[in-house]
Amino acid sequence: MATRHLYLARHGAADEFGRLTDVGRRQANLLGERLAGLPVDAVWHSPIPRAVASAREVARHLPDVPVAEAVELTDHVPYVPGATEMPPPWAGFFDEYDDAEVASGGRLAEALVSRFARVADQATERAQADTPTATHEVLVTHAFQIAWLVRHALGAPPHRWVGLNSANTALTVIQYRDGLPPALVMFNDMTHLPADLRWTGFPAAVRP
């Protein structure tokens, strides 16, 4: 059976200008250390600088693994809920998005799913050649894109991406297998981070 393992991570903590901070670099390095024991085939990253810088830090721990940009991973609103779908606390959040932005976000969301939310071509080719059939890819991206892929993996309605947040460099793992539904293996896992580096990217609150 051909299998694709996606390791999704939000970029490290960034400043108000979108630049990776020292905290963000530490987070990304710890994520790289955690991933170093895996047979990673590729690291893909959003074209936005904070994700690019995070991917470079992660890749330091993955020698000889190719690192490349994937425009589908860029930060965007994948779907704007309709009036009947909108959770009350989110009312007004999407008011600034015009029809062109909504359409553009929808196209990027479709492209994201089409490219990554399926068994990789390499895994299928290996299966047909009776060779090892698993691929392992790291995606360094943004909270909305992780939420969209998690929603898709669970078969939830489009508006259910809203409110799914990911901490900076937290790890989410989705597995895709031929003939089977996607499997959400892990979501927002921060065990590679010490307590003082966890939960950045979330509103301030008491955390376990």
The structure tokens 């309605």 sit at 157
User: All domains of the chain, ordered by start, with CATH?
Assistant: 3-184 (3.40.50.1240)
- DSSP 8-class letter at 50: H
- pLDDT of the chain along its 208 residues, tens only? 799 999 999 999 999 999 999 999 999 999 999 999 999 999 999 999 999 999 999 999 999 999 999 999 999 999 999 888 988 888 788 888 888 999 999 999 999 999 999 997 655 555 555 666 899 999 999 999 999 999 999 999 999 999 999 999 999 999 999 889 999 999 999 999 999 999 999 999 988 8
Q: pTM (2 decimals)?
A: 0.94
Of 171, 158, 199, the closest CA to residue 5 belongs to 171
Q: How far is CA 49 from CA 59, 113, 149, in A?
A: 15, 22, 21
The rounded distance, in Å, linking the Cα atoms of 54 and 29 is 8
The rounded distance, in Å, linking the Cα atoms of 15 and 60 is 22
* Beta carbons of 138 and 44 less than 8 angstroms apart: yes
